[in-house]
Structure formats: structure tokens, C-alpha cells
């Protein structure tokens, strides 16, 4: 079902919903998933992002997103200066990400607390995005829903623990996927929900044995 | 209800004794699970963002490529000093379309309607009319809901992006939305609104997307002008009682078909039309130079990059 505010909107800083607004959203998503103020970022542009990125301000938009700016923030064109002020050191170059969507970017991030994140995402048009890879695991989610990202060891019962917790919190699951790098390795659960997951429940899930990390991405209206 | 057929929305409106825009509003309430007040408030924010974008335009900025900037200001100065051929109102419409397209190219805040590249069409017809006729805000919001509904039907049946269907899908759709909004503001019938949409879309059918250097600048900014002026012509024709011989849903379907059959060179790839003229190619060369380096990325490279932040190329 088409949201009429995707037709009459979004309100955004130009020039391109895919190359600018979508790029800001990818940056913001990466910041949320890192869960910290990024201090180092290596940004690798692929395909059309690499070809026409400078003219579309894709580079500035990605950095703006990493700094937490929204797609309609008039400071997006000044994001490089903002990054210097706020202590984010970054590099931007071009890369050939095999079989990736033309508007793709791969980023390696380090947070203030030394947390790390590797993310590959693409901008699919109209400001919509898709996260394709997280810390080496293939995933697929858009940020159009509240999203719970659970990393755990490949143990029996972890999935049931998480879904039980969601059920207790009366959170309805819209989509979910289970992705693992290898058998017995680390697993990533991506759970898209209609309702936001309460903070206490996120904490509780994180305390379960075998669960390594839980990140909650709240949908932006 | 699903916003997938102009005919069906009109039928539902008749059945429920409501206006077209109310059906669109109620669909939004249902779809997003929000109240009538919330839906109206969000549309009001969009309308204010459009007006603010118009007010903040100075004409001083230049795009990253340097191809675009100052044209809206030039048009306003010309209109103030000389007698524009199309009269003062059309001159204002042209100036507003250029200003908004430029603002988008210069990384200012705009409303994508339906896309960023076509962001100048709706405000170019709505803002001058709003000032000239002193229209109450609630009427403007009704017109915006009308336009959104039209855009939603086009997005469902055909497409609204240059990559999917060429410029006809972006500027053409924006023009159709604007034409419908104008008929609503002039209190035309729902049938007249549909004829205006059909005529606006027909007149721009086949328009290719051929952006120089792949940027939303040339010819995009000026194409907003033709979208806006075409919307006014289509709305005036419909209000005069002139009808589209092909029904609106069929016109939308035809636009979608033309879009799908448009060679990929003419769908935002910058591989055809104006993009590959000698001058277009030269702009691309100029944008591409500047020491770009390309390589295949490995995880090891990425890690190494992180250890060497002093290489920041800000």
C-alpha cells in the first residue's frame, strides 16, 4: 500500500531522494546500529554512488547521517566541517562490491567506546533503503519497521527465548529472518515489528545466555 | 480503500457523498492508523515546508557542478522590468518552478512531489495561486490531498521515477497531480479533475530522462517549468469543458507501458539524449576528474583504512 506522504514528500534536502536522502538514512541507520558516536569511518562507494556521488552530495549525505542529521537538515552540505568539529575522522573512496545494487555503500565504523560495525546497505529509490550485510552476515531489512537485531551463538532455544519475550511484551512481529555465517558460528536475528520493543525487554533479551548483542532500531516517522 | 484506480475512487466518493480528497485523507488515516487531525497536520507540515522552501530562495547559490543557480531570480527580475509574453501569473509560475528546481540542485530543503527532481511543479502552480487568490489554507490542504491521491494511483498503475519510466513518470506525474489540484481549487467537478489529469499526462507522454552527468540539474530544473505550465493548460482546458477522449486510468496505464518500453538509455542512466551530447559529455568528464581511484575492496583493506584515519580526505 502506497503511503501518500511518499508521494507528497518526503521533505528533504536535495538533490536526489535516492542519492541524497537515502544516503542520509543509511548513515543514520549505521549510527543507530553502532549504538555510539562514531569517531572513525571508512566509507566505500559502489556503482552509481561512486559515479555520480559527488554531484549528488552522496558523500556529504552519508557523513551527515553518521553524525545523526535527518534527511531534511539544512546542515547536510556542511557535514564534513561538522565531522571535524565533532571528532569523526573519515575516508571516502570507491569500491567494487560484487553483485551489489548500483546505489550501494559499505562502511567500517569505530565508535567512541571502541565498538565496531561493518555495514553494507543500498538506497532503493524514493529515500528508501535496504541493509544488506552486517558484520559479515547477509541480512535484509529496510528500517520501515521497528527492528530488533539480535546477535547470538548458534545455540538451540535462543529464537524461542526472543519470541517469547516479544509475546510477553505484546509486540507483534511483522517479518523475521534468521541469518548465520556458518553452522555453530554467530547468528543474526532480524525481527521487524509493528510496535516498538520496550527498553526493559531489550535489556532482558540481552541478558539471556548465548545472546551476544541486541540492538533496537526505532522506525522514524 | 486502495488508491489504485481514479474511476474507483470517484465511484467511492459518489457512493459515500464525499469529495475525492476526503477519500484520500481517509485512506491515509486507515493506512497509517492515525486520526483525521494527525493526517491533516502532516499535510499542513508538507505545505509549510513547500512555502518555506520558496521563501528561503535567494538565487545566490550554485549547484555542485556549477550548471545551475540564479535562473529563478533572473526570471523574476525580467518579469518585474519587462512585460512577459505569458503575462505576470505565468511568469511567476516559471520563476517558482526554476527556483524550487535550483534549490533542490543546490542541496536546500524541498518537498519531493512525487520526486525530488520534479519538486518544482506543485509549488509552482500552488504558491502563486495561493497569493493571487488569497485561498484559505484548508483549501490548499484539500488540493494537496487531491494531488497525493492522483500520484498514488499513478505510482500503483504505472511509475513515478525516472529510472523506471523516464521523465514522463516524474515531471509528467507531477504535472498531472498539479492539474488535478488546480481543478479542485477552482471548484471543478470530479470528472473535470480526471480530464485535467489525463490531459496533463498525455501531453508529456514519452518524455525521456537524460540528465547531464547523471545529475538532477540539466535538463531537470527547466523541465519543472514545462510540468507547471502544462498543468495550468490542462486544468484550464478541463474547466472549459474540454474532455480527454481517453479515460484517465487508461492514460496512466499507457504512460506505464511507454515507460517500460523506453530504452534504458533514456531512463536516468545518463547514456542517451542530452547527456551524450558533446557538451553533456564534457560536463561529465569535468565532474569525474579530480583524482578518483577505483579498486576492489577486501576486508583487510577496510581494516587497514580504520587504522589510518589520518588519511581523511575531507
pLDDT, tens digit, for every residue of A75-130?
Answer: 999 999 999 999 999 999 999 998 899 899 999 999 999 999 999 999 988 899 99
Question: Between residues B305 and A128, which one has the greater pLDDT?
Answer: A128
8 Å CB contact of B116 and A51: no
pLDDT of residue A1: 74
Half-sphere exposure of A124 (CA within 13 A, CB side): 11
pLDDT at B299: 45
Cα–Cα distance for residue pair A158/A215, rounded to 1 Å: 16
Judged by CB atoms closer than 8 Å, whether chains meet at A8 and B314 is answered as no
Neighboring chain B residues of A119 at a CB cutoff of 8 Å: none
In this complex, which of A40, A42, A54 lies closest to B287 when CB atoms are compared? A54
User: How far is the alpha carbon of A131 from chain B, nearest alpha carbon, in Å?
Assistant: 18
CB-CB contact of B220 with B117 (8 Å) = yes
Q: Which band of pLDDT confidence, cut at 50, 70 and 90, is reported for residue A186?
A: confident
pLDDT at position A154 over 70: yes
Average pLDDT, chain A: 93
Q: Which residues of B touch A84 (CB under 8 A)?
A: 314
* Arithmetic mean of pLDDT, A24-42: 97
pLDDT in tens, B230-258: 999 999 999 999 999 999 999 999 999 99
Across the beta sheet with A146-153, what order do the strands follow? Answer: A173-180, A186-193, A146-153, A211-217
- Chain B residues within an 8 Å CB radius of A47: none
Sign, Cα dihedral of B298, B302, B307, B310: positive
Per-residue pLDDT band for A53 (boundaries 50, 70, 90) equals confident
Select the residue of A9, A13, A95 nearest B46 (Cβ to Cβ). Answer: A9
Q: Give the pLDDT confidence score for residue A185 in this predicted structure.
A: 77
A 79-138 → B contacts, CB under 8 A: 80, 83-84, 89-97, 106, 108, 110, 118, 125-127, 136
Confidence class of residue B189 from pLDDT cuts 50, 70 and 90?
very high
B224–A contact, CB cutoff 8 A? no
Mean predicted confidence (pLDDT) in A28-50: 96
Q: Is A7 touching B (CB cutoff 8 A)?
A: yes
The cell for B18 is 464525499
| pLDDT tens sequence across B56-101 | 999 999 998 899 999 999 999 999 999 999 999 999 999 999 999 9
Q: Which positions 155-184 of B are in contact with A (Cβ < 8 Å)?
A: 155-156, 160-161, 163, 177
How confident is the model at residue A221, as a pLDDT? 67
pLDDT of A51 reads 86
B119-177 per-position pLDDT tens digit: 999 999 999 999 999 999 999 999 999 999 999 999 999 999 998 999 999 999 999 99
Per-residue pLDDT at A126: 84
CB atoms within 10 A of CB B279: 10
Percent of chain B at pLDDT exceeding 90 = 88
**Does position B211 have pLDDT exceeding 90, yes or no?**
yes
Contact A74 B43 (CB under 8 A): no
Cell output for B133? 487568490
The pTM is what?
0.90
Where does the pLDDT of residue A52 fall: very low under 50, low under 70, confident under 90, or very high at 90 and above? Answer: confident
Contacts of B128 (CB under 8 A, 6+ apart): B89, B92, B93, B96
Is the pLDDT score of B295 beyond 50? no
Per-chain mean pLDDT for chain B: 92
**Does residue B312 carry a pLDDT above 80?**
no
B308-to-A38, A60, B303 alpha-carbon distances in Å: 15, 20, 9
In percent, the amount of chain A with pLDDT more than 70 equals: 100
Q: What is the mean pLDDT of residues A31-50?
A: 95
Report the pLDDT value the prediction gives residue B310, as an integer from 0 to 100: 41
Task: Could you list the beta-strand ranges (E) of chain B.
Answer: 109-111, 294-295
Q: What is the pLDDT of residue B67?
A: 93
Amino acid at each position: 500500500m502506497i503511503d501518500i506522504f511518499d508521494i507528497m514528500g518526503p521533505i528533504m534536502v536535495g538533490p536526489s531522494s535516492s542519492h541524497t536522502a537515502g544516503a542520509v538514512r543509511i548513515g543514520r541507520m549505521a549510527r543507530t546500529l553502532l549504538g555510539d558516536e562514531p569517531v572513525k569511518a571508512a566509507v566505500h562507494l559502489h556503482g552509481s554512488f561512486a559515479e555520480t556521488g559527488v554531484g549528488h552530495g552522496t558523500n556529504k549525505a552519508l557523513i551527515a547521517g553518521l553524525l545523526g542529521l535527518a534527511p531534511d537538515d539544512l546542515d547536510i552540505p556542511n557535514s564534513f566541517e561538522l565531522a571535524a568539529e565533532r571528532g569523526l575522522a573519515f575516508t571516502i573512496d570507491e569500491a567494487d562490491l560484487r553483485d551489489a545494487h548500483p546505489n550501494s555503500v559499505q562502511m567500517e565504523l569505530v565508535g567512541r567506546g571502541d565498538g565496531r560495525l561493518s555495514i553494507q546497505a543500498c538506497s532503493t529509490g524514493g529515500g528508501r533503503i535496504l541493509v544488506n550485510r552486517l558484520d559479515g552476515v547477509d541480512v535484509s531489512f529496510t528500517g520501515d519497521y521497528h527492528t530488533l537485531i539480535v546477535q547470538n551463538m548458534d545455540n538451540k532455544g535462543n529464537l524461542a527465548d526472543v519470541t517469547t519475550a516479544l509475546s510477553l511484551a505484546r509486540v507483534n512481529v511483522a517479518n523475521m529472518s534468521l541469518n548465520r555465517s556458518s553452522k555453530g558460528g554467530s547468528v543474526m536475528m532480524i525481527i521487524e515489528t509493528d510496535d516498538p520493543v520496550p527498553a526493559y525487554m531489550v535489556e532482558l533479551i540481552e541478558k539471556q545466555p548465548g545472546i551476544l548483542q541486541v540492538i533496537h532500531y526505532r522506525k522514524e516517522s | 480503500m486502495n488508491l489504485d484506480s481514479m474511476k474507483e475512487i470517484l465511484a467511492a466518493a459518489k457512493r459515500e457523498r464525499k469529495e475525492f480528497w476526503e477519500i484520500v485523507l481517509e485512506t491515509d488515516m486507515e493506512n497509517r492508523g492515525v486520526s483525521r487531525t494527525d493526517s491533516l497536520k502532516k499535510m499542513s507540515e508538507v505545505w509549510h515546508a513547500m512555502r518555506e522552501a520558496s521563501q528561503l530562495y535567494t538565487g545566490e547559490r550554485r549547484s555542485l557542478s556549477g550548471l545551475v543557480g540564479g535562473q529563478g531570480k533572473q526570471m523574476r527580475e525580467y518579469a518585474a522590468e519587462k512585460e512577459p509574453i505569458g503575462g505576470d501569473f505565468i511568469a511567476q509560475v516559471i520563476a517558482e518552478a526554476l527556483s524550487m528546481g535550483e534549490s533542490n540542485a543546490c542541496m536546500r530543503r524541498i518537498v519531493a512531489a512525487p520526486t525530488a527532481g520534479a519538486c518544482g511543479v506543485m509549488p509552482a502552480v500552488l504558491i502563486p495561486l495561493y497569493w493571487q487568490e488569497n485561498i484559505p489554507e484548508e483549501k490548499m490542504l484539500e488540493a494537496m490531498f487531491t494531488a497525493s491521491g492522483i500520484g498514488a494511483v499513478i505510482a500503483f498503475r504505472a511509475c513515478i521515477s525516472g529510472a523506471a519510466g523516464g521523465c514522463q513518470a516524474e515531471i509528467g506525474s507531477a504535472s498531472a497531480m498539479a492539474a488535478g489540484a488546480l481543478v479542485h481549487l477552482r471548484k471543478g467537478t470530479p470528472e473535470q479533475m480526471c480530464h485535467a489529469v489525463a490531459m496533463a499526462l498525455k501531453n508529456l507522454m514519452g518524455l525521456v530522462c537524460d540528465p547531464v552527468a547523471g545529475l538532477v540539474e540539466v535538463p531537470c530544473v527547466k523541465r519543472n517549468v514545462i510540468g507547471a505550465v502544462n498543468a495550468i493548460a490542462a486544468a484550464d482546458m478541463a474547466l472549459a469543458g474540454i474532455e480527454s477522449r481517453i479515460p484517465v486510468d487508461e492514460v496512466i496505464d499507457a504512460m506505464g507501458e511507454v515507460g517500460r518500453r523506453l530504452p534504458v538509455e533514456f531512463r536516468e542512466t545518463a547514456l542517451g539524449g542530452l547527456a551524450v551530447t558533446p557538451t553533456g559529455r564534457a560536463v561529465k568528464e569535468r565532474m569525474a576528474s579530480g583524482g578518483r581511484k577505483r579498486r576492489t575492496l577486501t576486508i583487510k583493506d577496510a581494516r587497514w583504512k580504520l587504522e589510518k584515519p589520518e588519511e581523511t580526505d575531507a
